[in-house]
Amino acid sequence: MSGRRLFTAIFVGLLGIASAGAVRAADDTIKIGYIDPFSGPFAATGNNFLKVFNFILEKANAQGGPLGKKYELVTFDYKLQPAEALIALKSVTDQNLPFVMHCVGSNVGAAMIDAVSKHNARNPDNRLLYLNCGALATELTNEQCDFWHFRFTVNVDQRAVARIKTLPQSVKSVYLLNQDYLFGQSVQKATQKYLAQYRPDVKVVGDELVPFGKVQDFSPYIAKIKASGAQSLVTSNYDRDLNLLMKAGNDAGLEIRYDSYLAHQPGGPTSTGPAGDNRLTSIMEFHDNVAAEENNPAAEKFVSEWRARAEFNFIPLDYVTMFQMLTEAINKAGSTDAVKVAKALEGMKITDMMGDENVMRAEDHQWLGPLHEAIFTHSAKLDAEKTGLGWKSEAKISSADLTLPTSCKMKRPAS
């Protein structure tokens, strides 16, 4: 046997031992394939989510986990390429993982729903569930709804309802500015729709789509907004596109409210800084001051533990609830069998950390929970990202207010 062959033989042998070890380790863990961008332009978003999930799972595991087992995340980087996401999904199914989780990108969400559905139809003994933690397009629980897909966060239409309902009565003219891609366009449509429905007194004086992540200087837009005389800028821009927008507005001394959808995302407060004081609002599930505002000592402890390890505010309370629901569903099902867990999740009601009732609606697998409208201010008790300014709730929108009709016609498997 030549050296190279010997080496190959040893290598293959080692592989065998390693994979056997992996199988054995799988017995006392519940693995969740987690597909998100961890490199490329949205690497920050993916890595911040990962930080959040590690924190949540540490807590869930410390409480015992489902069936006495521990959760374990297996991460896959899809680099914001839908094709890569499907390759990652293939690895998830090859490893027989019972759950796949994905947060960033509605276009990928749609592709994943389709791929998971097909996989489950073809491989009835190796099915998996798709836990959607951030693909927000409303269609995913309407026309494109699927039995194997559960959305554990609030969709675009629900966010738009919350945004419009919390717009102050004094605001009579708004300028809409959104990013020119699937998410921005669907926010644009939803905002228009619910403005007409809930606030017919508000005039839309400008409605614009900006290239996604390409604009270096928003000054020309600011000049247009100024010329329009709008009182409020309603925008779903996030990350760079929001930071540069507000920066240009502040540089030009534009007197306007910024009623945003996503300004609370990590990095937003840092870039906004003191200039955003008392004029920037956002719609979010939670922030570091909610616990104290609602006098909830357990939640305050949760927040202080989080603040000890991360510089940005804890926002996604829905993700904590997601693992509460998943744990209960697995316990109820007695296994991680996709059909049993899905049936257990359908219609599940659970009380979240803040004592509010959350529901996983059976008709379309859309999670229903409350949202907060908060303002960025120096008078907030706990600040965000060491800026000295933080979020302070102005309104809480109950899940009843966010319960919208669905057009979903769910096809359920026979067994």
Partner 1 sequence: MEVLLVSLLNGLVYGMLLFMLASGLTLIFSMMGVLNFAHGSIYMLGAYFAYESTRWIGFWSALLIAPLLCGAIGAAIEVWGLRRVHHNGHIAELLFTFGLVFIIGRSVQMAWGMLPMPYRVPAGLDFPLFTLYGLQFPAYRGFMLLVSAGMLGGIWLLLKRTRVGMIIQAALTHPGMTAALGHNVPLVFTIVFAGGCFLAGLAGVIGGNYQSTEPGIADAMGPIVFVVVVFGGLGSLAGCFIASVIMGMVVTFSVVIDASIADLLRPIGIVPRNDDLLGEILTVPVARIGALLPLLMMVLILFFRPRGLLGTRDT
The H or E element spanning position 165 is: helix 156-165
Nearer to partner 1, 50 or 362 (CB): 50
Nearer to partner 1, 98 or 134 (CB): 134
Q: Cβ 288 to partner 1, closest distance in Å? A: 16
Q: Does 221 engage in binding with partner 1 (CB under 8 A)?
A: yes
Q: What is the DSSP letter of 135?
A: -
Report phi then psi at 293, rounded to 5. Answer: -60, -35
Tell me whether residue 379 is exposed, middle or buried, using C-beta atoms within 10 angstroms of its C-beta: 0 to 12, 13 to 18, 19 or more.
Answer: exposed
Q: Does 352 engage in binding with partner 1 (CB under 8 A)?
A: no
Q: What is the DSSP letter of 351?
A: E
User: What is residue 245's three-state secondary structure?
Assistant: helix
User: Roughly how many angstroms between the first and final C-alpha of the chain, as a whole number?
Assistant: 53
Nearer to partner 1, 126 or 228 (CB): 228
Q: Does 223 engage in binding with partner 1 (CB under 8 A)?
A: yes
Q: Does 81 engage in binding with partner 1 (CB under 8 A)?
A: no
Q: Does 28 engage in binding with partner 1 (CB under 8 A)?
A: no
Q: Does 251 engage in binding with partner 1 (CB under 8 A)?
A: yes
Task: Please check whether residue 408 is in contact with residue 113, taking contact to mean a CB–CB distance below 8 angstroms.
Answer: no
Task: Please check whether residue 402 is in contact with residue 396, taking contact to mean a CB–CB distance below 8 angstroms.
Answer: no
Q: Cβ 277 to partner 1, closest distance in Å? A: 14
Q: Total residues contacting partner 1 (rule CB under 8 A)? A: 41
Which span sits near partner 1 by CB under 8 A: 112-120, 209-217, 319-327, 329-337? Answer: 209-217
Nearer to partner 1, 207 or 363 (CB): 207
Task: Please tell me the distance from the alpha carbon of residue 158 to that of residue 404, in angstroms, as a whole number.
Answer: 7
Task: Please tell me the distance from the alpha carbon of residue 232 to that of residue 397, in angstroms, as a whole number.
Answer: 20
Task: Please tell me the distance from the alpha carbon of residue 407 to that of residue 139, in angstroms, as a whole number.
Answer: 9
Task: Please tell me the distance from the alpha carbon of residue 121 to that of residue 268, in angstroms, as a whole number.
Answer: 42
Which span sits near partner 1 by CB under 8 A: 3-11, 110-118, 235-243, 407-415? Answer: 235-243
**Interface residue with partner 1, options 189, 199, 203, 226 (CB under 8 A):** 226
Nearer to partner 1, 272 or 327 (CB): 272
- Interface residues with partner 1 (CB under 8 A) are 41, 43-44, 47-48, 180, 208-211, 213-217, 219-224, 226-227, 239-240, 243-244, 247, 251-254, 266-267, 270-271, 273, 311-312, 385, 387
